[in-house]
Chain A
Amino acid sequence: MEVKAGDEVLAGTPLFHDKFQEQVKFCAPVSGEVVEVVRGEKRKILEVKILADKELRFKDFGASDPSNMDGEAVKNHLLASGAWPFVMQRPYDVIANPSHDPKAIFISTFSSAPLAPDLDFQIKAELEHFKVALTAMAKLTKGKVHVSVRGGSDSSYLSGISGIEVHEVYGSHPAGNVGTQIHKIDPINKGEFVWTVDVPGLLTIGRLFKTGHFDTSRLVATTGAAMSKRSYFKAYAGIELSKALEGRFDAKSGARLIGGNVLTGATTSHDSFLGFYDYQLTAIPEVEDREFFGWIAPGLNKFSMSNTFFGWMTPNKEYNLNTSLNGEERAFVMSGQYEKVFPMDIYPVQLLKAILVEDIELMENLGIYEVAPEDFALCEVVCTSKINSQAIVRSGLDLMIQEMS
């Protein structure tokens, strides 16, 4: 912790740093007065509340051109300014360790998740920033920077940037997941590291180099059936949701508010704040009624990948999904179900079972280094036994971090 309540901060002032990697700083997204530091168990920092100024004041890190800098300088620039946490690492799906030497950097310029916002739109609006950020990324690795674009879309704006390789990716979700792309392009082996950055993160990094400011502004999409107004709005990370969602979401509706998309997002609430990585807010209705004899009813309104409901007769029907688990958790029974939605050459159920029994060697052999929880999101959706695969994968990755350090 580097600040206390009452301190004045600028956008870009370090608030706290990583306990294990002190050079990784987490900086204030806005300027203003620190009003409260909320701590949890073992004094874990949960929230730092800042009362924002009307007019944002930025800490000046100085504009610079990454094409004239070496890798170390780029790295230090990102670390000092608070932009580093946008750089994520695989394996383990955590913030990248700056002392590693990644074999490649992967960037997915589109999201294929349900109701995903159009990232192209944001890239085109700030093309200069995006290009600068890619140039900076190319300095961070001796390997390649792989940039994936949606197959068939116009990627001419990426030409002329040195050190990157563009891939066209076709297909439905999870084609846009960076994990899928890594696996298909250059899979991770034991001992290797790959870094990834998402589009809003790159834009922030681009602005940092262009203007010298740590500017986390991004377009946030409000999506989902329970949003009263579905639109984009511009916001900084950490903005108060009750203010941002005024007129867009009715807090009294009892619907569930999700930071991110319905597959991987975390439940948040109206009186909470916008997450550091979030550029989408989704609201869907909570489950209200028990359904009478659901196991035998024709279920024309039930969405299912299996054809056990008669929904297969209306393949193009749109469904209004709620948060129902649609059943109870059971042991694994069905087989072959995950494989239909899991595009990697990995045996998903066997990997999950290896994690459950905490068999490190088997987890390694079955490819734990290549996966992140989000890669299992679709498995979780289609699972007959309602297994929480993402949580299992996370626990497996955490165990690996513990064992490998």
Chain B
Amino acid sequence: MKFLQNIVEKLEPQFEKGGKFEKLWPLFDGFATFAFVPKHPTSKGAHIRDGVDLKRTMITVVIAMIPCLIFGIWNTGHQHFLAQGMYAGLGDGVLEKFFFGAWRVLPLVVVSYAVGLGVEFVFCIIKRHSIQEGFLVSGMLIPLCMPVDVPLWMVAVATIFAVVIGKEVFGGTGMNILNPALTARAFLFFAYPTKMSGNSVWIADSENLRANVDGFSGATALGDLASTVGIDKTSETATAVMSSFGNDGFYSMYNSFMGFIPGSIGETSALACLIGALILIGSGIGSWKIMFSAVVGGLTMAGIFNLAGANAFMDLNALHQLLIGGFMFGVVFMATDPVSAAHTETGKWIYGFFVGFFGIMIRVFNPAYPEGMMMSILFMNVMAPLIDHYVLQANIKKRQKRMVIQTA
């Protein structure tokens, strides 16, 4: 370690102001502080500081996503083989599933990180500030919220869009209004809808499978449910779909909770999301208020639909609603992004509630957007400053009222 530290200290002057590679300072600083906690002493204010910094925070979030990533890798393989009738048992061909999944998923992760960090480096050098850690999390979120069959170049384009338009134009990490990872997903969703929705992207090699395997559907739980909207819930199609949500069906409560269903890479397993939620809440990074109120919001909307019961989709058990699609993943990892969420504690309750509420509402009302969570979180990201504004106004009013009473 000492040896590496010496190298860093020896190189440092060349990158500092007046040094040979002055322009590349952010790059050097990025790598040096990546390897070592910098030895900056406190210069003003409190002389002692908490051990935590943004790097540690972001890495903790990435660690919280690892259960989703690992499960996503396995499930990619599982769904692929399952569609062909191979290794149908959960314990069968574990290695094959992992290898296949890793071969499909890891390139997405690598492309997302490489492109995103590359763009960040360029911006840091142009703007001459040190590299900020925000992308460590976005870089993992982007592949996890993509369907597995998305082409690599699309991930690259979406990542560039997210980092530049989603974040850097606002001033970088901490300044963005929208969650960058969801910005990437929304960009692809609207620019290349055929690659982001439908029945041909959720299982690896869907096109091939459809051609060669009889009865291949390739749809997700939400896709199937969306097909029941607008038709009589006693019709044959609707009952067929709903039976798959029964206890023995493919989308049973158990399968949905464990995540043995097709969907975006990281979103399918509610269990993995819950492990992530535990890490985020335990470490104090993710807001339990947002997660809790979002679940309450989701259950409320789903409960209202249960009462209305106008179609088969509405009849789905409220808890089951939350376990399918990106609801859990969105609530745990996307909605809690501290920058784009509400900043005030009271605001977080409101923000979280409506994330869940609108998430379920959009997915049921508008079958064209089966993934309501993305729209709902982005919408609430935009609304968050407004919520905060009113929370602040309440505080200001209280203060003004106090003044009037005192001086009257």
A282 to B46, CA, bound (A): 12
A330 to B60, CA, bound (A): 17
The residue from B34, B40, B59, B132 contacting A324, defined by CB atoms under 8 A apart: B40
- Shortest CB distance B12–A (Å): 11
Residues of A near B54 (CB, < 8 A) are 327-328, 330, 333, 384-385
A192 to B36, CA, bound (A): 50
Contact status A326-B399, CB under 8 Å = no
The residue from B43, B45, B57, B344 contacting A308, defined by CB atoms under 8 A apart: B57
Contacts A/B (CB < 8 Å), 7 sampled: A308-B57, A311-B51, A330-B53, A333-B57, A335-B344, A336-B338, A380-B46
Residues of B near A388 (CB, < 8 A) are 43-45
Residues of B near A325 (CB, < 8 A) are 38, 40-42, 49
A262 to B344, CA, bound (A): 29
Q: Which of B169-177, B196-204, B265-273 contacts A (4 or more CB under 8 A)?
A: B169-177
Q: Say if the beta carbon of A323 comes within 8 Å of chain B.
A: yes
Contact status A326-B41, CB under 8 Å = no
Q: Say if the beta carbon of A61 comes within 8 Å of chain B.
A: no
Considering the complex, which residues of chain A in the window 379-399 have a beta carbon less than 8 Å from any beta carbon of chain B? 380-386, 388-391
Q: Which of B278-286, B311-319, B372-380 contacts A (4 or more CB under 8 A)?
A: B278-286
- How many A-B pairs have beta carbons closer than 8 Å: the answer is 216
Considering the complex, which residues of chain B in the window 381-408 have a beta carbon less than 8 Å from any beta carbon of chain A? 388, 392, 395-396, 398-400, 402-403, 406-407
Find the B residue at minimum CB distance from A334: B338
- Shortest CB distance B92–A (Å): 35
Q: Say if the beta carbon of A377 comes within 8 Å of chain B.
A: yes
Contact status A391-B45, CB under 8 Å = yes
Contact status A323-B47, CB under 8 Å = yes
Q: Say if the beta carbon of B134 comes within 8 Å of chain A.
A: yes
- Shortest CB distance A38–B (Å): 22
Interface size on B, residues (CB 8 A): 64
Residues of B near A295 (CB, < 8 A) are 34, 37, 53, 55-56, 59
Contact status B392-A331, CB under 8 Å = no
The residue from B4, B50, B402 contacting A189, defined by CB atoms under 8 A apart: B402
Given known A-B contacts A286-B41, A334-B57, A346-B395, A326 and B341 have beta carbons under 8 A apart: no
Q: Say if the beta carbon of A302 comes within 8 Å of chain B.
A: yes
Contact status B49-A324, CB under 8 Å = yes
Q: Say if the beta carbon of A39 comes within 8 Å of chain B.
A: no
Contact status A291-B345, CB under 8 Å = no
Among B48, B49, B134, B348, the one with the most A-chain Cβ atoms within 10 Å of its Cβ is B48
A265 to B153, CA, bound (A): 55
The residue from A293, A378, A386 contacting B36, defined by CB atoms under 8 A apart: A293
Contact status A335-B338, CB under 8 Å = yes
Contact status B38-A265, CB under 8 Å = no
The residue from A282, A332, A390 contacting B174, defined by CB atoms under 8 A apart: A332
Contact status A333-B39, CB under 8 Å = no
Residues of B near A339 (CB, < 8 A) are 345
Residues of A near B5 (CB, < 8 A) are 289-290, 292
Q: Say if the beta carbon of B94 comes within 8 Å of chain A.
A: no
Q: Say if the beta carbon of B339 comes within 8 Å of chain A.
A: yes
Residues of B near A288 (CB, < 8 A) are 39
Given known A-B contacts A307-B283, A390-B45, A331 and B174 have beta carbons under 8 A apart: yes
Contact status A328-B130, CB under 8 Å = yes
Considering the complex, which residues of chain A in the window 234-272 have a beta carbon less than 8 Å from any beta carbon of chain B? 256, 258, 262-265, 267
Q: Say if the beta carbon of B1 comes within 8 Å of chain A.
A: yes
Q: Say if the beta carbon of A94 comes within 8 Å of chain B.
A: no
Given known A-B contacts A189-B407, A294-B56, A304-B52, A328 and B44 have beta carbons under 8 A apart: no
